[in-house]
Amino acid sequence: MSDFKLEAIKCKNCGSGLVVEINDYVTYCGSCGSGFEIVNGELQPIEINFSSIAIPGNAEVVYKPFWLMKTKVDILERTAAGGFMKNLFGGASDSSGEITFYIPAFYCTLDSLKKIASSFTQKNPVASPQKFNAKLTGFAYGKDDAKKLAEFLLISFEAEKSDTMKTFRYNIDFNSCEILGIPYYKEKDGRLKDAVLGIEL
């Protein structure tokens, strides 16, 4: 039987111990604010910030990780007409534009994930980038998973319009991928409600 050993994972910037849960794709140093993506067992730097609380509350605050993915989307072909993409692109065009996707990096049901991601992506709340001495764990979805979920979301936006979509071809370029910690209130019954848009899990 081969020997194995457990090694403590330390922050590459300040040397503090990092909290890493099983199957985590990203870890955050609460001491210096450094973020790391775990790629093939190695720590690669990644930007991690936290959104400020927009809705006051009295319950305990916990932070849940989201992938903040800034993209350039080009609609190559669409046989059904509609103005929804123009709204998503900010009103300038319905065939191309920039979209910032908010993709939950923590585990939740597909229905909840779609609801949260759709609401945050469409409303695009201004993230006030801050560094907190906070715990941020539970990174169930890595960058590749988040990219696939962003494409799923884009197709869902188009498919749920009032018209009938026959063909939909697009190109999506991911310009940047960061992590944003969204504050959630942990209610007494265990339910979570975010402190930015007020969506309950």
Digit-coded pLDDT (tens) for 7-61: 568 899 999 888 787 778 898 888 888 899 988 888 899 999 899 889 999 999 9
Task: Report domain extents, the chain.
Answer: 26-53+60-194
Q: Taking the model in full, what pTM does it have?
A: 0.83
Q: First-to-last CA distance in the chain?
A: 45
pLDDT in tens, 110-131: 889 889 999 999 888 876 777 7
User: How many Å apart are CA 155 and CA 159, to the nearest integer?
Assistant: 6
